[in-house]
């Protein structure tokens, strides 16, 4: 099957990392079209996945954009749509991996007469998207998509609640290769020593620095924990959120935590850094569509404490494979951190159980098979429809 994958980003976020795994089985006959250049293109090339940057012009629409801003960008993307239409005619279907890709892919699907698949990596809620953006996404998907793949039940429910068609949606969780999360004890010891973490109970936070990701919640919780608890923040601001980064540094200073909070920025060695922690914290203040970092922590054999909302609810069973806390409640988070510090054997048992079950539940081979089945069914439906049209 020849697939034209579309993605708006030049930078590798959770949706983009997921796309790499999805595109790999089709790399000999497919293409990933990007709407921006950047390190994501490099990652695709490293995985021998054909990629082409389709435009170098920034699409000036964001999740919170109004109708006027959306309409203002239409003329800007017309050349891109024309290029995608021409490309799409060389493939069997269009696979839109992000919302901007959905809008372009929907129009390209209409003009090229190729079926459209939309992979939904977001919860279409007011916390994340303006009313205009939610309406555009739902309209494009309902009118043009033959299949919407939601990355969690929470994402599916958000899509339907926003007016999306339930009959075209299927839930498929993100896939992971457990081998990518295996580390050597000597490497873990070395990185802890390099970062000055020896003798500390280390809580890791792995995500871009953004208010809704809740790093400030972890810092506030840390102030309520014993002094031998240290936090490492892996990630940096992406979308003009430098003001929040400054706020975090000011918060650390105000609480006297300069020696207990380490800002590591973007890192490519996330599995190793996770393995160097004693606990991984997920602190999103708004519902997370999936929670990739939650599964990654499990695969690294580390206990996870997650904000109980959105897709995280589907991943974490409190006291069985991790811990859940109320979003935005640093006192609850501090209590879990302290418990993990004081009961290492019990916590190790929970982490081991999580690692075993996650490696089975989210195995990338099984997940890709689920997607392949859905795409093959769609292909057969399309072929049968074309045959009926020809017979008429």
The pLDDT value given to residue 147: 98
Q: Which two tokens stand for residue 146?
A: 């033959």
Q: Which residues contact 83 (CB under 8 A, 6 or more apart)?
A: 54, 55
**Structure confidence by residue, pLDDT tens digits, 184-242:** 999 999 999 999 999 999 999 999 999 999 999 999 999 999 999 999 999 999 777 89
Task: Answer yes or no: pTM beyond 0.85.
Answer: yes
Q: Exposure of 246 by Cβ count < 10 A (0-12 exposed, 13-18 middle, 19+ buried)?
A: exposed
The pLDDT value given to residue 62: 53
- Radius of gyration of the CA atoms of the chain, in A: 22
Q: What is the mean pLDDT of the chain?
A: 93
Listing DSSP states for 29-98 in one string gives T-EEEESS-SHHHHHHHHTT--EEE---S-----TT--HHHHHHTHHHHHHHHHHHHHHHTTSSEEEE-S
Q: Which two tokens stand for residue 287?
A: 């519902």
Q: Can you list the domains of the chain with their CATH numbers?
A: 3-175+363-391 (3.40.50.2000), 178-361 (3.40.50.2000)
Residue 262 and residue 259: Cα distance in Å, rounded?
A: 8
The pLDDT value given to residue 381: 87
Residue 234 and residue 263: Cα distance in Å, rounded?
A: 6
**Structure confidence by residue, pLDDT tens digits, 249-268:** 999 999 999 999 999 999 98
Q: Which two tokens stand for residue 374?
A: 């859905």
């Amino acid at each position: 099957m020849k697939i034209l994958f579309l993605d708006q980003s030049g930078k590798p976020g959770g949706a983009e990392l997921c796309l790499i795994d999805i595109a790999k089985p089709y790399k000999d006959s497919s293409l990933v079209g990007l709407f921006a250049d950047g390190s994501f293109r490099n990652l695709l090339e490293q995985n021998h996945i054909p990629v082409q940057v389709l435009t170098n012009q920034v699409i000036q629409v964001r999740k919170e954009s109004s109708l006027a801003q959306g309409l203002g960008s239409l003329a800007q993307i017309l050349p891109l749509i024309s290029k995608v239409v021409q490309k799409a005619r060389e493939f069997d279907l269009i696979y839109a991996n992000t919302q901007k890709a959905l809008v372009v892919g929907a129009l390209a699907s209409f003009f090229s007469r190729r079926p459209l698949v939309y992979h939904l990596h977001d919860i279409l809620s007011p916390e994340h998207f303006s009313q205009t953006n939610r309406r555009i996404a739902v309209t494009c998907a309902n009118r043009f998509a033959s299949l919407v793949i939601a990355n969690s039940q929470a994402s599916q429910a958000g899509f339907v609640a926003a007016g999306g068609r339930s009959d075209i949606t299927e839930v498929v969780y993100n896939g992971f290769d457990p081998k990518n999360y295996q580390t050597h004890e000597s490497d873990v010891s070395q990185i802890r020593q390099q970062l000055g973490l020896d003798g500390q109970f280390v809580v890791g936070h792995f995500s871009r620095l953004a208010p809704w990701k809740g790093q400030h919640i972890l810092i506030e919780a840390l102030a309520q924990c014993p002094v031998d608890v240290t936090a490492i923040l892996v990630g940096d601001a992406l979308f003009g959120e430098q003001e929040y980064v400054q706020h975090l540094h000011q918060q650390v200073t105000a609480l006297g935590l300069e020696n207990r909070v380490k800002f590591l920025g973007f890192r490519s060695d996330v599995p190793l850094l996770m393995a160097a922690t004693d606990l991984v914290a997920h602190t999103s203040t708004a519902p997370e569509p999936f929670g990739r970092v939650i599964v990654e922590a499990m695969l690294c054999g580390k206990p996870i404490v997650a904000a109980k909302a959105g897709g995280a609810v589907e991943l974490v069973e409190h006291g069985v494979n991790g811990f859940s806390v109320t979003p935005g409640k640093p006192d609850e988070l501090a209590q879990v951190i302290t418990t993990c510090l004081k009961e290492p054997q019990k916590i190790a048992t929970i982490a081991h159980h999580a690692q075993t079950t996650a490696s089975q539940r989210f195995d990338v081979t099984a997940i890709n098979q689920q997607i392949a089945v859905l795409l093959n069914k769609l292909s057969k439906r399309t072929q049968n429809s074309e045959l009926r049209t020809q017979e008429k």
